[in-house]
Structure 1
Amino acid sequence: MESRTLYVSAASGADGADGADGTATRPFGSISAAAAVARPGDTVLVAGGVYRERVDPPRGGTDDAPITYAAAERERVVITGSDVASGWEHVSGQVWRYQVESSRFGAFNPYIDVIRGDWFDPRGRVHHTGCVYRNGDWLIEAESLEELHTASDPDGLWFATVEGDADGIISLGEIRPDGGPVVSADTLAFRYGGTLGTRPDGMSHSTGLKVGDWLRFDGVDAGSDCRFIDIDVAPDLGGGGRIELRLDTPDGPLLGAGEVAASDEPNVWRTLTVPIEPCSGAITLVVRFTTSEYEAGTTTIYAQFPEGDPNDGTVEINVRQTVFYPSRNHIDYIHVSGFTLRNAATNWAPPSSEQKAVIGTNWSRGWVIENNTISHSKCSGLSLGKYGDGTDNTNDAGEADPYTRCVRDALENGWNRTQVGSHIVRDNHIHHCEQTGIVGSLGCAFSRVTGNEIHDIDSRRLFSGAEQAGLKFHGAVDTVIADNHVYRCALHGIWLDWMCQGAQVTGNLLHDNGDSPDLFLEMQHGPLLIANNILLSRNAAFINSKGTAFAHNLLSGHIAHFLADARVTPYHPAHDTAIAGLSDATPGDHRFYNNIILSPDGAASDPQYARWDGTLDGAVLPAFAAGNVFAGDAVPSRFDHDAVVHAAPIRPQLTERSDGWFLSLDADPAWSATSRRVVTSGLLGSAAVPALPYENADGTPIAVDTDYFAAVRDSENPYPGPFERPVPGPVRVWPKAPAETR
């Protein structure tokens, strides 16, 4: 079939029923209308405008015929998860009120959707995924309505009340379709909310479910003519509520519904018989939890507007969880280019669950996401993440072994080079997301993440958890993270956690990343290459790993090595996702060659770093270091050879100008007097635990023979640090100046 260009224009307001067919003269009015008919090789070309929709591509392309979604050249195309909220009523002072029927939100109301999940720390309060936006900027969720009247914030505060919202309303046990086999509570295919528990009689059940939660059961056998479904239910904590049975999705066709009465005796089990619309054969059954009061009730949003009447500007509220995200797995070979994607009510995205974001790939292969601006996600901006299943956010409060189970499950669910990963994420601008700029668990393997600018991540510090960074990857096997600019992240800049074997982190600029390090390497076994990076934050690198190679980096903050971690985590065969074995994080087996290290000594004596050391001296496994420059208080380790100790402190100066970021570094030409070797696979050898060489993803040898700007290094005696030639004055480090123009 010949490739087509399908045209979309918000101005047309037509989606096909009134004659729109996607031609240039009769364009579709929404991107979703074009996605519904797009085939491999097609291009969906979107004219300028604001598109208030969630694009859920129903199909992907092929390696040689992707489906491309592109903004029209030189036009601003905004796809947003928010809608305009007009008609605000004044309450008092700076506080205004907006009311809307809760039914407007359909199956997803971000003002009852609580942020939660594995490794999440709410810091003693409740957070919702929704938000309020005034002229493009977002307000901060208050802890209570009273706070809006007694406190203020430069960004403004908001708070919502929702009639009928309730926590812990129902527990769900066995499902018995009329004429079909029993469906156990632990066979669910997807979980959004609640946890799996065991009743005193040994039967499994889901509990802790609140209004808006839902469970999906795939392949439920409804027999030949199912007219009712029996469900084991119990009022959870005495709450009670309404159960809806829907086809396929939480807002799919309603099969039937039933009420679970509140009780003074919670967790008393009974059978609820729900009459349903006749159905037969294998169905996808979604059980949604709500209350009748919520379904008939109102959502009221209160907000501070210090600038005056909100009706004089544009105020928006969230109505969608994502913006460009497939609901099904294996929607492969999608290209997304040139859009502004923003305002998504995303939930927490730990590695053990589906990782939704403003835009994401959802366990697919071969996406290209380029030249987009991605912002204002309550949690994550861009996801190359894991699929969802019935174990989502049930990871025993974040212990290591259950995540190893997730990895084993993922291997059975297609975690391999031919089915998942191999994405390209390049030249995007990602900012103002409160968990991560880019997140990925397993689905990020074999990918290239290059040329992205990521900043102001987790800048508000309203909540916390072990998954916050400018870029946070698990399982990034053979992934390249190169030439990115990551700054003003309240926690880590780049955090590689578990199984990033064969990854390369090269030519990145990181700075102003709070008190956490620019680079955190956790539970890696190598080989892992860190080369030509400029790390300027107070803490440059924390290493709770082994088998890492640092070459030609500038590290101006603390470097700390963890001394003991008894957790055991997987390693792999070469360039593969299979589990070859498990190993702990016994420190050592590192390589440090030709770096400039300015980090002051003292990290080891700081109580915060009682189990860390500030050099390689605490390594148990052998380490290798040569040709490094140590300035100021930085000192060589016991493994260092041919080190240069520069007594005077060196303070790199990074300055932002109208045409970019400029770095001044007092490098000494005399450092070249020390003979250094080009860092190659031959010099680096093999990482001890997997017994594998440092090499490129295609098996070719590594050679760090170019610098931060891709200038060729001296093959006889390369200069230390990220620049091959000493730089006498400020040099533009972002956007990168070509080597020949420095």
Structure 2
Amino acid sequence: MVTEYHVAKNGSDQAEGTKQAPFLTINKAAAVAMAGDTVIVHEGVYRELVDPQNPGLSNWRRITYKAADGEKVVIKGSEQIDSWEKVEGSVWQVVIPNAFFGNYNPYKEEIYGDWVVYNPNRHLGEVYVNGKSFYEAESLDEVKKPEVKTEATEFWQGITIPAHDPEGQKYVWHAEVDDMNTTIYTNFQDFDPNEELTEINVRKACFFPEKTGMDYITVQGFEMAQAATPWTPPTADQPGLIGPHWSKGWIIENNDIHDAKCSGISMGKEASTGDNFSSKRRDKPGYHYQIESVFSAKKVGWSKEKIGSHIIRNNKIHDCGQNGVVGHLGCIFSEVSGNHIYNIAVKRQFYGHEIAGIKLHAAIDTQIEDNRIHDCTLGIWLDWQLQGTRVTRNLFYRNSRDLFVEVSSGPFIVDHNILTADYAIDNHAQGGAFVNNIVRGHMEHRKMLDRSTPYHVAHSTDIKGFSPVYGGDDRWYNNIFIGDEGIEGVGTDHYKGYTTSLEEYIGSVHNDKGSDHGAYNVVEQPVYINQNAYLNGANPFDREEDNLVTAHDPEIKIVEDGDEVYLELNMSEDFEDLLGDVHSTHTLERVRLTDVDFENPDGSEVVLNADLLGNIKEGRSVLGPLKELKSGKNRIKVWD
């Protein structure tokens, strides 16, 4: 029997859960809801960690949690604190018994784990006034005299990141924890914290099952915020503010998700397959433990039948410290679409190699499409086992970097995107197809010969083999590359010296007198590059046969106008003279190492004929991600 349960702030957990006699907490409904049931939550702020106790059974017999139509429902991982006492000047303190936090005290738990690079005594706690998060200070002295950073900071691989919110950096806190109490000191400047909405992180998450295997759950229409989520590398348990916790078939849609200390939405792995062993044991690098986690995951059911196939769509995801969407292994066969992701990892209080608006490992057959990603330290970072992964029709701007693809052998597709960061693309992978994009910004191309990573049987988690990244085996068609003053490395000229067909590559390998495998380390893999435009200093591959190269500056701009975003571009008079073909499974050469074709997740032919706005191209058309681009001035709405 299908049941509809109701939750309201005037309810009781001893009630029946009907509309007339609702439950008081979402968790009460989560304890009784069964496959096919719907939980409707009415207006109010719910301070709890929702822990579903039962799974749905199929796409048609889901358990659905939804905010009541037209009502604002907020789930928070924080508690309001109104017992602050003034210490001196604008510094206040509150003393909280440790028992208040149970077995998880965010003011004692540090940002910790594999691949954390920079962590000057940062913890999982947070202080908020009227929804605005503060900055953690390293000492009480810094609370009294906050250090405001106005200059850019250089992080990993020479990436320089500008300072964030100098005015906001005056609002700082520091906590001291002893055997009995947690004391939080905060500089509230001109605020009286007892007269404002002052909150602190308390819970690890807002909506996250403790048990694995809680399949086929839908969560829609909520605001969820202020959770003390831990650092989530691919070698650890990966809880987010919300997530399925090693389950199948979740739909997370139309939510406003923000202020996770680390991760917003997690489609990640669980602890039994490894939990920061490199940091804890210090005997092997995280790379080796990550390989072990792949094999461990296979033993506990990592397959299309049991894990993944999630849908993350039409959410607003913002102001998270590490990433907006994260996942290793658990993100297989999923869809991340229509999300507005911004202000991710911009406070720069800690830093590591797992930071991005979207950071996925082993995203087999996962489709990332129609997302707006801006003001992030890194837009999308796809790492390990990109096979069948597609990044299409996404808009990137004002990020420190836009796209990073790493240690993967393909096939993966990047098509019909707009990438505009000064540092646009890191390509440390092979076997990719980059088609019909606008790329304005530096492009980095690197081999990774010291990290052999898995590749798979097509559309499967079954491991077929391992390979380092030799560089190349890439396809670049119909792209518009735009240079700019002070930005180097835009275009495809970094492939100089690479072969241009599989036949040429094989001939070169077998003419080499090296060992069986040694020749493959020195002969450059084939690349397939044609029909691209290179503007304003961007440079082409020297063996490209058909292209447009011009010094014309198109003066590219991304313009926000309310909730709408426009692309402004002034193209040269000869822009429409060069047209590009529509590419598909039949025109994209198979990937050499994996020996797999470019296909849709169901194995059908992939056709790259839908532009950034969904317009279908018939036959040859102008280069780039927009069918309506033309010579001269363009102003095109690219997000509504």
The TM-score, its normalising length taken from structure 2, stands at: 0.89
Answer whether contact 1:713 1:719 (CA < 8 A) is retained: no
Aligned equivalents of 1:639, 1:335: Cα separation in 2: 51
1:60 corresponds in structure 2 to 55
Q: How does 1:466-477 map to 2 (within 5 A)?
A: 466-477=353-364
- 589-598 or 560-569, larger mean C-alpha shift: 560-569
Going from structure 1 to structure 2, the CA distance change for 1:6 and 1:150 (only over 3 Å counts) comes to same
Cα offset for 1:662? 1.0
1:309 counterpart (192, 198, 204): 192
Separation in 2, partners of 1:97, 1:725? 59
The alpha carbon displacement at 1:600 in A equals 4.9
5 Å-filtered alignment, 1:322-341, equals 322-341=205-224
Alpha-carbon distance between aligned partners in 1 of 2:497 and 2:214, rounded to the nearest angstrom: 47
Task: Decide whether the 8 Å contact of 2:237 with 2:274 is kept in 1.
Answer: no
Letter of the structure 2 residue corresponding to residue 134 of structure 1: V
SS of the counterpart of 1:565?
Answer: strand
Q: RMSD across aligned C-alpha pairs, in angstroms?
A: 1.7
Q: Give CA-to-partner distance per residue, 1:47-98, whole Å, 9 cap, x none.
A: 0100000001011101121000000011110000001111110101110011
Query: Which residue of structure 2 lines up, in the alignment, with residue 555 of structure 1?
Result: 439
Q: Which residue of 1 aligns with 2:129?
A: 134
Aligned to 1:240: none
1:102-127, Cα deviation, whole Å (9 max, x unpaired): 1111111111111100101234x211
1:298 and 2:202 correspond = no
Q: Mapping of 1:446-457 within 5 angstroms?
A: 446-457=333-344
1:75 aligns with 2:83: no
For 1:195, the equivalent position in structure 2 comes to: none
Note the alpha carbon deviations across 1:271-316, whole angstroms, 9 max, x for none: xxxxxxxxxxxxxxxxxxxxxxx2xx11111111112311111111
Distance in 2 (alpha carbons) for counterparts of 1:135 and 1:464: 26
Matched position secondary structure for 2:622: coil
Matches within 5 A, 1:199-238: none
1:379 matched to 2:379? The reply is no
- Give 1:462 shift: 1.0
Structure-to-structure mapping, 1:35-46, within 5 angstroms = 35-46=30-41
Question: Which residues in structure 2 correspond to 1:152-551 (within 5 Å)?
Answer: 154-155=167-168, 156-163=171-178, 294=179, 297-389=180-272, 391-395=274-278, 396=282, 398-490=285-377, 492-514=378-400, 517-551=401-435
Per-residue CA deviations over 1:151-183 (Å, capped at 9, x if unaligned) read 2653300011111xxxxxxxxxxxxxxxxxxxx
Structure 1: runs of 5 or more not aligned: 164-293, 607-611, 736-742
User: 2:504 corresponds to which residue?
Assistant: none
Secondary structure of 1:303 counterpart: strand
Alignment pair present for 1:146 and 2:133: no
1:144 deviates by: 0.5
Q: 1:170 is matched with which residue?
A: none
Q: Which has the larger radius of gyration?
A: 1
Matching residue of 1:734: 639
**8 Å CA contact 1:131, 1:318 repeated in 2:** yes
**Deviation string, structure 1 residues 685-734 (Cα, Å, up to 9, x no partner):** 2011101111101111111112111112131x221000112254322111
CA distance in 1, matches of 2:573, 2:610: 18
Distance 1:642 1:678 in 2: 15
Which deviations, in whole Å up to 9, do the C-alpha atoms of 1:11-57 show, x marking residues without a partner? 32x111xxx11001110000000001000000000001000000010
**Cα separation, partners in 2 of 1:345 and 1:520, compared to 1, 3 Å:** same
Query: In 2, distance between residues paired with 1:420 and 1:372?
Result: 23
Of the three residues 590, 597, 610, the one matched with 1:693 is: 597
User: Aligned pair in 2 of structure 1 residues 381, 655: CA closer, same or farther (>3 Å)?
Assistant: same
- Return closer, same or farther for 1:564/1:38 CA change in 2, 3 Å cut-off: closer
1:640-668 CA-to-partner distances (Å, cap 9, x unmatched) read 22111122122211111114111111234
Aligned equivalent of 2:566, options 662, 667, 678: 662
The one-letter amino acid of 1:430's match is I
- Map Cα deviations across residues 179-208 of structure 1 (whole Å, 9 max, x no partner): xxxxxxxxxxxxxxxxxxxxxxxxxxxxxx
Structure 1 contact 70–338 (Cα < 8 Å) conserved: yes
Q: 2:487 aligned with 1:615, yes or no?
A: no
SS at match of 2:587: helix
Structure 2: which 5+ runs fail to align?
Answer: 149-166, 499-523
Asked whether 1:723 is paired with 2:630, we answer no
Are 2:579 and 2:623, in contact at CA under 8 Å, matched by a contact in 1? no
* Separation (CA, whole Å) in 1 of partners of 2:589 and 2:634: 37
Check conservation: 2:273, 2:297, Cα contact below 8 A. Answer: no
Over residues 189-237 of structure 1, what are the superposed CA-to-partner deviations in whole Å (9 max), with x where a residue is unaligned? xxxxxxxxxxxxxxxxxxxxxxxxxxxxxxxxxxxxxxxxxxxxxxxxx
Matching residue's letter, 1:493: G
Give the corresponding residue for 1:25.
20
The answer (yes or no) to whether the contact 1:437–1:469 under 8 Å persists in 2 is yes
**1:669 Cα deviation (Å)?**
6.1
Between the aligned partners of 1:422 and 1:473, the Cα distance in structure 2 is: 14
Equivalent residue in structure 2 for 1:15, among 13, 32, 35 = 13
CA distance in 2, matches of 1:402, 1:152: 38
The residue type paired with residue 134 of structure 2 is: L
| In 1: Cα distance, 2:140 partner to 2:610 partner | 57
SS in 2 for 1:666: strand
SS at match of 2:445: strand
In the other structure, the counterpart of 2:535 is 631
8 Å CA contact 2:130–2:196 kept in 1: the answer is yes
Q: Does 1:86 align with 2:82?
A: yes
Structure 1 residue 604: Cα displacement: 6.7
Amino acid at match of 1:565: L
Alpha-carbon contact 2:13-2:25 (below 8 Å) kept: yes
Q: Is the 8 A contact 1:616 1:639 kept in 2?
A: no
Contact 1:554 1:595 in 2 (8 A): yes
Asked if the contact 2:422/2:487 (under 8 Å) is kept, the reply is: no
Q: Is the 8 A contact 1:538 1:558 kept in 2?
A: yes
Deviates more, 1:643-652 or 1:314-323: 643-652
Q: For residue 640 of structure 1, give the secondary structure of its aligned residue in structure 2.
A: coil
SS at match of 1:693: coil
Task: Letter of the 1:10 partner, please give it.
Answer: K
